[in-house]
Structure 1
Amino acid sequence: MEILRYYLPAIRKIVNQLKELEKDPMGCSTTCLLIQEKLIVNLTNIEYRIRKAKKEASDIKKILTDKGLQNSKEKSKQLKARSKILLKRIDEYQNIRILFKSIGDGIAFLYINRFDLKAQNFKQSTGFISNKKGNRLERKCFRHAFKAGGIAIMNDLTNVLKYFDLMIITGLDDWFPIEVKSGSSKNKVQADKGRTLMKYLLADEPADVYERGMPMIRQSLVSNVQDHIEKVNDLFKEARKKGFALQKIETGLTILATFEDEIDDFESLLNSLHLVEPILFCQNNYAVTQFGYYPYCLSIKATEDYLDFLSGKLQIFHFFDRACLQPVAKKYGYNYEFLGQEEMYVNFTHKDVDVKFAISWHSFSRIFFEYISPSWLINDHFLQIKEMTKSLKENPDLYA
């Protein structure tokens, strides 16, 4: 927490600039560049501290395992205690690194559709931006894009953009990727994966973009995304005034926001909600993530609310009743079952015909991470399945 406090002033300044960029993404290219330049400085600083702590921890390990050195019990105890502190510090710095990159995610989500970004997140996280091979040319190309009057995103400054080096923005939801190469060497596997991704995103070609051993098919939403971001931010305002605010957002979903250290009689509060199949989700446990969701730096509108959320002063709890899915499933003629598996979190089976589908944990959890309307999420899945079933009957080879 001390390390977070140290970086909070820098985070505040950058997030305030992000809020300005959000008002006019295409008209504030200078702000977009400045934010990313600040991210480069802060990430480089954090990476230096991680490397330094790792080296010291490694040196201590060598001393402790060197049988030629006869360390006293007291000396060994001190070294082990120091090593423990260093390892904890490394974890904290890694979290701060992810946090700064989540602000970079904020830039990406302002320009690129969230569902196009989702497919680009399922890959191993990128390494450090400092001391990276070809880094100098990459940054030169990045800055040249702005000098030429354009807008670019340096992918390494984000958690979510894990393919390619740069994104050139030509309009909202209008972009193309750039792979910067400083030499003649080519990574064929990387290039092939990049091409497969772009065919999946732009041409709707089935592809195993999530590396699950099976091709995925792009299916359009039937209706526009519905969320409760405005309601939730009003709840934060109320909580800041009163210390505590509770609201039923929609059937089956209640959200609590509190600035108080303790919640009096939490059990009574839970009982008063009359939840049949309750899920309790504490959002603060996931304040720093790399799951590719719409970032908190955008969904939490007030910068101070965002900072208080990061530091734990603002606590957010979601109370969800899984039983609210029953009337929706019944309307479409389905039964539902919570399996709890990552890829099959909730399973729906039609009562009469041989049709079934599952919603993954990642998709279902948009309710909590992105404040997505549960009723919209479930209804849209049913409508998508309805359209796919109809298309399959009309054209059996469509999904072959």
Structure 2
Amino acid sequence: MDDFPRLLNIQRRLIKAISEAEREIRAAKLSNDDPRGWQYVRYNFLCLGDSIAFLYMDRFALKLTYFDVDTENPKQSGGFITDKVGHANEVSFLEDALSHNVPAVLCDITNVLRYGDICLLGDSDPVPIEIKSSKTTDRRGKRQKSKLKTLNSFLTSDRGDGFRGLPGTTFRTAFSVPPRSYSDQLQEAIARANSIGSSSFEVDGCLKVAVIMEEDPDYDALFGGFGSSRVLVNAVNQIKTNKLWGCYYPFPLTLSEPMHFERFVRGEIHIFTLLDLDAFEDNLAPEGTRLSLDADENHIQCSIHFSNLFADDQEAYFIIGDHMMCRIWTDFLCPSWIVQNSVNSVTNNAETIWEAADPP
């Protein structure tokens, strides 16, 4: 973490690899060939760049650098490094920051960092910085500067009105318990599957994870055993193949064994998650709450119904949105942690929430 010459060398190698992939993409398009193979290669190098940022920064702080501050949509990515005006200045600034023992990453070698050109990673929150390539600022530059100012304001104050286009006030709160994942169990399951072809394990009595590395697995054994017909199946590989990992915890950090990472990228390791919705609702609701899941192949959200949170509202409920719920199969977070963390966030900030919902 403190080996800054190595950190610079890694980024130089990523710049070179990403630039090569970009040249191949352009060449394929010019010759009317299919560029998707090289686009996939480039994407996986960007996931490695994401890993640098996530080694230094909290995953939920980095989420804020991925989305637009004015809408609920992801912010447009920075585009290709190749032939980018100002790239040399950005690399020079990166070198200067690292030479002063300040961890930093070039935003263009990541998927997640979509504000600024360089992001400093030495504080509790990311610090994106724009590196000016000219003395003049056009309309786009002014808009980018305004968005960056809004983001920095939210990171500083932990609240914002109309943030990301949402009505009311958005708050950011600290976790009472650090995130808890089942990534170690996943790594062990991959190692077993490498020996016997496939493997599975359960998490929190409601989630089954299957790893397949053989051509003819026993699907009944891997995908069966549920007492409910309400089971949501996710093919984790499709998130990676469709380049939709976004701002979730990078899979290269979870699959930290080089062989596991390589074979997952090549499509030789297949990971499936099967969430028993009834068991989730029945087993994970803390005292004084009731859970209800709404899920299909395109989205999932969980409503937490509180029986005694507010004296004036016996039917108060809060929603764990699609983004957080999807971290069950992207970040490999335990479902029980997601529920308990959400309940704690609400109960620990009930007074603030009530005041925001019913201002004087």
User: TM bucket by the smaller chain?
Assistant: 0.7 to 0.9
Deviation at residue 279 of structure 1 after TM alignment: 1.1
Match of 1:283 in 2: 236
Deviation at 1:164, TM superposition (A): 0.8
Distance in 2 separating the partners of 1:275 and 1:281: 17
Is 1:201 the counterpart of 2:201? The answer is no
**Which residue identity does 1:338 align to in structure 2?**
D
**Superposition CA RMSD, Å:** 2.4
Taking the aligned partners of 1:156 and 1:126, their CA distance within structure 2 comes to: 6
CA change 1:224–1:249 in 2 (3 A) is: same
Length, aligned pairs only: 341
2:239–2:245 Cα contact (<8 Å) kept: no
Instruction: Give the equivalent residue in structure 2 for 1:333.
Output: 289
Max Rg structure:
1
Native 8 Å contact 2:236 2:270 kept in 1: yes
Find out whether 1:348 has 2:304 as its counterpart: yes
- Among 132, 135, 146, the residue aligned to 1:184: 135
Q: Match for 2:132: what amino acid?
A: K
Does 2:108 align with 1:156?
A: yes
TM-score between both structures, scaled by the size of structure 1:
0.78
Gapped regions of structure 2 (runs ≥ 5): 68-74, 309-313
In the alignment, the residues of structure 1 paired with residue 279 and residue 164 of structure 2 have an alpha-carbon distance, to the nearest angstrom, of: 30
1:99 paired residue among 23, 35, 44: 44
Cα deviation for residue 298 of structure 1 reads 0.3
Q: How does 1:353-372 map to 2 (within 5 A)?
A: 353-372=314-333
Structure 1 equivalent of residue 30 of structure 2: 55
Q: What is the rounded CA distance, in whole Å, between the counterparts of 1:399 and 1:36 in structure 2?
A: 49
SS at match of 2:273: strand
Identity of aligned residues (%): 24
Deviation at 1:207, TM superposition (A): 4.5
In the alignment, structure 1 residue 232 sits paired with structure 2 residue 191: no
**What is the alpha-carbon distance in structure 1 between the residues aligned to residue 214 and residue 168 of structure 2?**
47
CA deviation after TM superposition for structure 1 residue 309, in Å:
1.0
Equivalents in 2 of 1:170, 1:351: separation in Å?
42
The match for 1:135 is 87
- Identify unmatched segments of 5+ residues in structure 1: 1-24, 58-85
- Tell me the amino acid that sits aligned with residue 157 of structure 2: A
Tell me the amino acid that sits aligned with residue 194 of structure 1.
L
Q: CA deviation at 1:51?
A: 1.6
CA distance in 2, matches of 1:344, 1:285: 17
Q: CA-to-partner distance for each residue in 1:26-49, whole Å, 9 max, x for gaps?
A: x22122111110111111111111
**1:135-194 CA deviation, whole Å, 9 max, x = no partner?**
1211121122233443321011100000011122336x4653321002222322111110
Matches of residues 370-389 of structure 1 in structure 2 within 5 Å?
A: 370-389=331-350
What pairs with 1:301-340 in structure 2 (closer than 5 Å)? 301-327=256-282, 328-329=284-285, 331-338=287-294, 340=296
The one-character-per-residue Cα deviations of 1:289-312 (angstroms, maximum 9, x if unpaired) are 342111010011211011111112
Q: Is the 8 A contact 1:339 1:347 kept in 2?
A: no
Residue identity opposite 2:57 in structure 1: I
Shift in Å, 1:323: 1.2
- The alpha carbon displacement at 1:52 in A equals 1.8
CA distance in 1, matches of 2:99, 2:343: 47
- 8 Å CA contact 2:293–2:300 kept in 1: the answer is no
Q: For 1:295, which of 230, 236, 250 is the aligned residue?
A: 250
- Answer yes or no: is 1:41 the counterpart of 2:16: yes
Amino acid in structure 2 at the alignment position of 1:54: K
Aligned-pair CA distance for 1:340: 4.8
> For the structure 1 residues 94 and 162, does the alpha-carbon distance in structure 2 shift closer, same or farther, using more than 3 Å as the test?
same
Shift of 1:255: 1.2
The code of the aligned residue for 2:250 comes to P
Matched with 2:311 is none
> Does residue 263 of structure 1 match 2:217?
yes
Deviates more, 1:216-225 or 1:297-306: 216-225
Residue 105 of structure 1: CA displacement?
0.2
Match of 2:177 in 1: 223
**Partners of 1:182 and 1:203 in 2: how far apart?**
30
Task: Please state which structure has a larger fraction of its residues in helix.
Answer: 1
> Aligned partner of 2:47: which letter?
S
Asked if structure 1 preserves the Cα contact closer than 8 Å seen for 2:56 and 2:122, the reply is no
Counterpart residue identity of residue 243, structure 1: G
> Are the equivalent residues in 2 in contact too, given 1:332–1:382 (CA < 8 A)?
no
Larger mean CA deviation between 238-247 and 373-382 belongs to 238-247
